[in-house]
Amino acid sequence: LNERVPEAEPNDEIGQLTRSINELLERLEASLNREKQFTSDASHELRTPLSVLRGTLEVLIRKPRTSDEYVEKIKTSLATIDRMSATIDQLLALAREEKGKNLVKEELELITFLEEIVDEAAVEHNRKIIFQSQSGVPIYVKANEKSLQMILSNLIQNAVKYSPQDSEIVVKTGITHALPFIEICDRGAGILGEHLDKIFDPFFREKSVVDQLIPGTGLGLAIVKKLAQESGIKISVSSEKGVGSTFRLDLPIS
Ligand code: ADP
């Protein structure tokens, strides 16, 4: 694949054709390289906790322990297994092709739908989350409820995870230029400008969050991007390091 068709006469039709073929080969190569990288990153992501697990069990078997020590080691091992399961679930979500039946769109009223999601998330994360609607009238959209729910729960979870416990999180909705939108705003760590297009790549995490040992796999936003694409939702982000981030969803017209 890394070979190219030689371009003999750059200006004639054959020259143009060979250029197109070469461009196609380049794109194919880039896509295969991305897949290779993904497989290698995914294996690494699972191999690391597996090695930790193996180490723990080997130490346990080497010499007898008190029952308290056994319980403690088994508990940490179970937590490692749970984290690996969560990673596998995310990898499957990323690999799954939602076609036909699974992506049936229903009519949803956005304000009621979001109020419910925000209330549930506030309880789940034990965090105050403010909901604001800029529309005085109901907003009807056609969407796949499960996909939209998953997109929102990932974005709200990130807002919670990457901002201080007492800082404000706001979920907004409204209509601009006749199109419904949803925004999730936090006053947290923010994201470096140069990383704004990378955060949707599988396994990408900013160094600062890795250094702070904030748990995560770097798969959440890749799943969000895939679900949004499948549903025709445009996702954008604006952020400033140390100030906060706003993730915006522009929904297709009902
Ligand atoms: P994870 O949260 O598991 O690391 P994501 O794919 O959800 O994975 O996010 C990728 C990265 O984008 C995060 O590791 C973090 O560096 C950055 N990020 C995402 N959301 C936010 C946010 N609301 N505030 C600051 N950084 C964020």
Nearest CA owner, ligand 1 atom 7: 220
The string of pLDDT tens digits covering residues 157-181 is: 999 999 999 999 999 999 999 899 9
Distance, in Å, from the CA atom of 176 to the CA atom of 165, rounded to the nearest integer, reads 31
- Between the CA of 207 and the centroid of ligand 1 the distance, in Å, is 11
Residue 90 Cβ inside 6 Å of ligand 1? The answer reads no
Residue 184 Cβ inside 6 Å of ligand 1? The answer reads no
Residue 188 Cβ inside 6 Å of ligand 1? The answer reads yes
Block residue for tokens 């760590």? 189
Nearest CA among 90, 183, 103 for reference residue 142: 103
- Between the CA of 221 and the centroid of ligand 1 the distance, in Å, is 7
pLDDT at 97 over 90: no
The mean pLDDT value for 123-139 works out to 96
Supply 155's token pair: 């974005």
Q: Which pLDDT belongs to residue 102?
A: 65
Burial 165-195 (b: 16+ CB within 10 A, else e): eeebbbbbbbbeeeebbbbbbbbbbbbeeeb
Supply 169's token pair: 């999180």
CB 214 within 8 A of CB 157: no
CB 94 within 8 A of CB 223: yes
Given pLDDT bands bounded at 50, 70 and 90, which one contains residue 98?
Answer: low
Q: Which pLDDT belongs to residue 101?
A: 56
Given pLDDT bands bounded at 50, 70 and 90, which one contains residue 99?
Answer: low
Q: Which pLDDT belongs to residue 63?
A: 84
- Between the CA of 227 and the centroid of ligand 1 the distance, in Å, is 17
Atom of ligand 1 nearest to the CA of 205: 14
pTM recorded for the entire structure: 0.86
Please, what is the Cα angle at 219 between 80 and 237, to 5 degrees? 140
- Between the CA of 247 and the centroid of ligand 1 the distance, in Å, is 11
